[in-house]
Chain A
Amino acid sequence: MIEQFGRAGFLLLFAVAFPLLPIVASVVLGVFKIRPRKPDPVKESIYECGMVPIGNAQVRYNVRYYVFGLLFVIFDVEAVFLYPWAVTYRQLGLYAFVEVVLFLGILFVGYAYAWRKGAMEWK
């Protein structure tokens, strides 16, 4: 198990190095005056896929997002409980399948309530 994570960790090293290398190279070349420095307002502005950025990125969010955040947490915890079942699904067979259907069925009541109360809607 730990060997597989070790391989993933090795991959992680490359994933961290890949964005870090250009940044470090840019700073180092800047220190040695090899990289030209010609700041201009357009170049310094935030990149928004070609759109002109409007205001600050860290604005105050609408409070309605919080309901989606809370529902996300519930589904997240649910996913955690499905993970061990998914790993042992082949050995346990139909019995485990029925149990998980029951598990999801009870949760679906909460989901139906959320739907009925319009928690998923954007008013």
Chain B
Amino acid sequence: MIDDAGVVVAFWVIAVSTVVCALMVAAVRNLVHAVLFLALTFVGVAGIYIVLAADFVALVQVLIYAGAVGVLMTFAIMLTPAADRRNSETIFQAPAAVLAGLVLAIVTFVAYDTEWRISGRDAFPATAASLGEAFLKPYVVPFEVVSVLLMTAMIGAIVLTREEGDDV
């Protein structure tokens, strides 16, 4: 299934557009445009997850990264003064490029050098259903703890962002 011609074409189209978008994040000089390209990169990564038959991870990628993280980063930039929104040249550019190149080289080396064990079983037909069953049967306590964590995060967000002296 993964060697299907359509899947291979889809993978290359998605992969190339994702890498181009990621490069544009560093190349464009307007930070607002950079964030929009970053959101597009997240969507591209979601496309790669779909090619890998991980439908739930792809959905989470679109919802959380392209949606929530994209919105938060857009807000963070829109809250800064317009004059500071230039993705301008800094002294960190060369070190950052070297670091990114090193990370790429190491990841590529590990990916080629490791002897990957290939699983005998087929891919999941749809991962969301299996995950739902796991959430609500064996892992029900962690599932409920997540709601406590989310509640804490919500209260924390309100406490931290509330202005001083506007108690109810």
Contact = CB atoms under 8 A, between A and B. Distances in A.
A66 B151 CA distance: 18
Contacts of A66: 75, 79, 161
Given A60-B78, A83-B56, A76 B132 contact: no
A110 B133 contact: no
Interface residues of B, number: 55
A110 B161 CA distance: 15
Given A5-B55, A6-B6, A110-B150, A88 B63 contact: no
Nearest to B72: A69
A91 B147 contact: no
Interface stretch (A21-29, A32-40, A46-54, A97-105): A97-105
Chain B binding surface SS class: helix
A80 B10 contact: no
A103 B144 contact: yes
Contacts, number: 150
A74 B133 CA distance: 23
Interface stretch (B20-28, B93-101, B104-112, B121-129): B121-129
Contacts of B60: 80
B154 A113 contact: yes
A59 interface: yes
B157 A2 contact: no
Interface in A77-106: 77-81, 83-88, 91-92, 95-96, 99-100, 102-104, 106
B52 to A, nearest CB: 9
Contacts of A106: 144, 147-148, 151
22 contacts: A5-B50, A6-B6, A9-B10, A59-B82, A60-B79, A69-B72, A70-B161, A72-B71, A74-B153, A76-B68, A80-B60, A84-B56, A84-B135, A87-B128, A87-B129, A92-B137, A103-B146, A107-B147, A110-B153, A111-B154, A114-B155, A118-B168
